[in-house]
Amino acid sequence: MENSANYITFVTDHLYQFYSYTSFANFTFGHFIMICIGLFFIYLAISKEYEPLLLVPIGFGIIVGNIAFKPGFQVGIYETGSVFNYLYFGVLQGIYPPLIFLGIGAMTDFSALISNPKLMLIGAAAQLGIFGAYAIALLLGFSPAEAGSIGIIGGADGPTAIFLSSKLAPDLLGAIAISAYSYMALVPVIQPPVMRLLTTKKERLIRMKPPRAVSKTEKIMFPIIGLLLTAFIVPSALSLLGMLFFGNLLKESTVTKRLADTAKGPLIDIVTILIGLTVGASTQATTFLTVKSVGIFVIGAVSFIIATFGGVMFVKILNLFLKEGNKMNPLIGNAGVSAVPDSARVSQVVGLQYDKTNHLLMHAMGPNVAGVIGSAVAAGILLGFLS
C-alpha cells in the first residue's frame, strides 16, 4: 500500500515537472501578442502578397521564437549552444546581410541608372529619411548608437538595417529588423498619399525621355568604378558595397553565369530563409515587447514618410534647373528608398492613375537601385561616426 502511494507521488511529481517544462506553464500574454503578430505577418504575406519571401519566414520565426519554454535546455535563440543561437550568429556578426547583397547585386540591372546618371542623386536625397529618423530618435531619448540603428530603417533596406543594428545596437536588432521589413512591405500603402500631397497634377503628367541603350562595357565598368568611388569614401560599408558590386560584376561580365545564378538563386534563398527565420525568432516577448520597440515602430513609419518626402521634393527642386523636355516626373522620387522593386512599382502604379500611357517603371528603377547604394553608404557613415 505504501509502495503504491509512493509510486503515485513519484508519477504526480514528474507529471508536474513535465508540465512545468511545457509552453502552457511558461506562456504569458506577451507571447500571445507576439504569436498574433506572427500570424498577421503570415496573413499579409499569403493573402495580400506583401513581401511574401520575407514576411513568411519572419512571421513563422516570430511564432517559433514565442513558443514559451523553461530556460536552460538550449532551446531559445538567446541560449548559447542552441541550434537557433548558432543560426542567429550570422545575424549578430553581420554575415547574412552582405551575402544577401551579393545576391541583390547579381539580380540587379543598373542599366536605368547608367543611361540616366542624374537619377543617382534621387537615391541620395531619399536617404534624408535615415537622418530624419536619427534626429527624432535622439529627441526621444535613444542613445546615439541606438538612434543611428533606428534611423537606418528609413533606408528601407532590411539587410542594411540588420547589418548596422548588429554592430551598433544588437539589443534592438529584432525590433529594428521587424520594423524595417514591415514598412518595406507597406511601401504601397505609405508612399502614395505622400507622393500625391507633394505633387501637382501637371507634374504627375510629365513624360520622361526613354532611356538609351547601355553597352556591355558600361555595365561591366559600373560595379568596378562604383566600388572604387563609394568604398574609398566610406570603407566602413565595404562588406555591403563590396558584395553588392561583386554580385553585379558576376552578372554583367557574362562569363561567370554559374556563379551569378548561384548568388541570385540558391544562395540568396538560403540566406533569406535563415535571416528571416532567426530575426523573427529573436522577437521573444520577454525581450521584444518593450516601450523602446513601440518607439522604434513609430519612428520607422515617420522615417519612410521623410524618405519619400526627400526623394519627391528633390526631383521637384531639380526640375527647376532642368530644361523643358529634360524634366523628371516627381513621382519617381519615392523610389529613392532602396525597397527594390516595390517603391519603383509604386511610382509606376501612381503614374498610370493619371496617365495610362506614361510608364515610369524603368525611370524609377534608376533611383531605386541608387537607393541601395545610398543606404549602404549611409550605413557606413553611421558606423564610422557612432561606433
Give the binding site for other proteins (CB under 8 A). 111, 113-115, 117-118, 120-121, 123-125, 127-128, 130-132, 134-135, 138-139, 143-145, 147-148, 168, 209-215, 217-218, 221-222, 225-226, 229-230, 233-234, 362, 370, 373-374, 377-378, 381-382, 385-387
d(CA 266, CA 264): 7
Minimum distance from CB of 147 to other proteins (Å)?
7
H-state helical runs in 327-360: 342-354
Residue 48 has phi, psi (to 5 degrees) of -95, -10
Minimum distance from CB of 151 to other proteins (Å)?
8
Contacts of 361 (CB under 8 A, 6+ apart): 344, 345, 347, 348
Classified as helix, coil or strand, 302 is helix
The x, y and z cell numbers of residue 39, run together, are 500570424
Indicate the residue among 171 and 269 with the shorter CB distance to other proteins.
Answer: 171
The x, y and z cell numbers of residue 346, run together, are 509604386
Minimum distance from CB of 262 to other proteins (Å)?
23
The x, y and z cell numbers of residue 37, run together, are 503578430
Torsion of CA 224, 345, 269, 45, to 10 degrees: 160
Indicate the residue among 213 and 255 with the shorter CB distance to other proteins.
Answer: 213
Indicate the residue among 230 and 272 with the shorter CB distance to other proteins.
Answer: 230
Indicate the residue among 34 and 168 with the shorter CB distance to other proteins.
Answer: 168
Indicate the residue among 226 and 280 with the shorter CB distance to other proteins.
Answer: 226
**The one-letter amino acid at 22:** T
Indicate the residue among 86 and 385 with the shorter CB distance to other proteins.
Answer: 385
Buried b (16+ CB within 10 A) or exposed e, 237-270: bbbbbbbbbbbbbbbbeeeeeebbebbbeebbee
Minimum distance from CB of 46 to other proteins (Å)?
34
Region for residue 82 given its phi and psi (left: phi exceeds 0; alpha: psi -120 to 50; beta: otherwise): beta
d(CA 209, CA 16): 74
Minimum distance from CB of 253 to other proteins (Å)?
17
Minimum distance from CB of 297 to other proteins (Å)?
20
The x, y and z cell numbers of residue 107, run together, are 539580380
Minimum distance from CB of 183 to other proteins (Å)?
20
- H or E stretch covering 180: helix 173-185
Indicate the residue among 279 and 340 with the shorter CB distance to other proteins.
Answer: 340
- H or E stretch covering 269: helix 268-281
Indicate the residue among 127 and 199 with the shorter CB distance to other proteins.
Answer: 127
Minimum distance from CB of 63 to other proteins (Å)?
35
